[in-house]
Structure 1
Amino acid sequence: MLKKLFSKNKKEEVKNNYIKGILQSPISGKVLSIADVPDDAFAEKVLGDGIAIEPQEGAVYSPVDGEISQIFLPSKHAICLKDEYGLEILIHIGIDTINMNGEGFELLANKGDKVVCGQKLINFDLKKIKENAKSIITPVVITNSYDIDRIETLKIGNIRAGEDVMKVYM
């Protein structure tokens, strides 16, 4: 019995509390405006509207219940999810991290996997990103935001992974 309670299988340890239209922070750190991302494609919302997070820890968690629709390989620097309501989310760890060729990134899930809100998806080496990329700032973007009425940022400043960070009005 104790062995099962303390299993290393993260899916058993995740508390599923996803609510339609509420995204939880996928990363612990400091929430910033998407306009603060040092990359024009994100700052000008070319890829969609959302937020940015300056990470304080090297882990990405699913902000929704859904499915992994894309993983950027071999770089492992970004992941896309689609929730059961059609919301499409891109989490792009750092800026110019594609050039790291996957070094410092560990995938914990695969394309096509069904995931629950709060499930760990990627570990990353924050120090290595600081040393090798343009920025650690991580955009979290709703890539189909053209289908959304509006997006409300629920918190600016320090946040823990798993706290509510955005409300999407569909």
Structure 2
Amino acid sequence: MSLAICSPVTGVVVALDDVPDPVFSGRIVGPGLAINPNLTADGNVAALAPVNGTIAKIHPHAYVITTDEGRSVLVHLGLDTVSLGGRGFTLIAGEGETVHAGQAVIAWSPARLETDGLNPIVPVIALEGDDATLEKALPGQNVAAGDELMTWG
């Protein structure tokens, strides 16, 4: 069964090879894509659930949603953002909560991350997935939050 994975943020699609972090570019946690988010001047934006499912794990800077079929998708808000200790992120949903694709999970400011010297890129990873089973949006493509980003066959 095919699973549509939606973009958690608005921005430009980036290939994992171009993410400046070896954990993501090396596909250590799995295959996927990243989004270079639009930097908005109006403060926080919501990072959305990419799939329907249950929040299996949530940190201020990242979350994993597991579908009823057992597939898990990781969304990581920026690089090295664990160093912020949660500052600049507001949890909207909680661990164990059932969410629908497009539902707000965390509020954050990509612009603030960049101002603080951190990369705001957002990797979206098919945990335990196989690159061969993903149909991905093309790098350089603009996507809106909620648009289909990948299909996991």
Pair 1:37-2:24 in alignment: no
Pair 1:151-2:134 in alignment: yes
In the alignment, structure 1 segments of 5+ residues that lack a partner are 1-18
Higher normalized contact order (CA 8 Å, seq sep 6+, divided by chain length) = 2
SS in 1 for 2:96: coil
Q: In the TM superposition, what are the counterparts of 1:112-127 in structure 2 within 5 Å?
A: 112-127=96-111
Aligned-partner Cα distance in 2 for 1:112–1:155: 32
The residue identity in structure 1 corresponding to 2:105 is L
Q: State whether residues 94 and 133 of structure 1, in contact with CA within 8 Å, keep that contact through their aligned partners in structure 2.
A: no
- What is the CA-CA distance between 1:128 and the residue it aligns to? 1.8
Aligned-partner Cα distance in 2 for 1:48–1:133: 26
- What is the CA-CA distance between 1:127 and the residue it aligns to? 2.2
Aligned match of 2:46 = 59
Aligned match of 1:100 = 84
The residue identity in structure 1 corresponding to 2:85 is N
**% identity of equivalent residues:** 31
The residue identity in structure 1 corresponding to 2:17 is A
In the alignment, structure 2 segments of 5+ residues that lack a partner are none
Aligned match for 2:66, one of 71, 77, 82: 82
Q: Where in structure 1 do 4 or more consecutive aligned residues deviate above 4 Å?
A: none
- What is the CA-CA distance between 1:134 and the residue it aligns to? 3.1
Q: State whether residues 71 and 111 of structure 1, in contact with CA within 8 Å, keep that contact through their aligned partners in structure 2.
A: yes
Larger Rg: 1
Pair 1:110-2:110 in alignment: no
After TM superposition, the score normalised by the length of structure 2 is 0.89
- What is the CA-CA distance between 1:132 and the residue it aligns to? 2.4
Aligned-partner Cα distance in 1 for 2:132–2:111: 38
Aligned-partner Cα distance in 2 for 1:86–1:149: 19
Aligned match of 1:8 = none
Q: How many correspondences in the alignment?
A: 147
SS in 1 for 2:70: coil
After TM superposition, the score normalised by the length of structure 1 is 0.81
Q: State whether residues 77 and 93 of structure 1, in contact with CA within 8 Å, keep that contact through their aligned partners in structure 2.
A: yes
SS in 2 for 1:54: strand
Q: State whether residues 69 and 82 of structure 1, in contact with CA within 8 Å, keep that contact through their aligned partners in structure 2.
A: yes
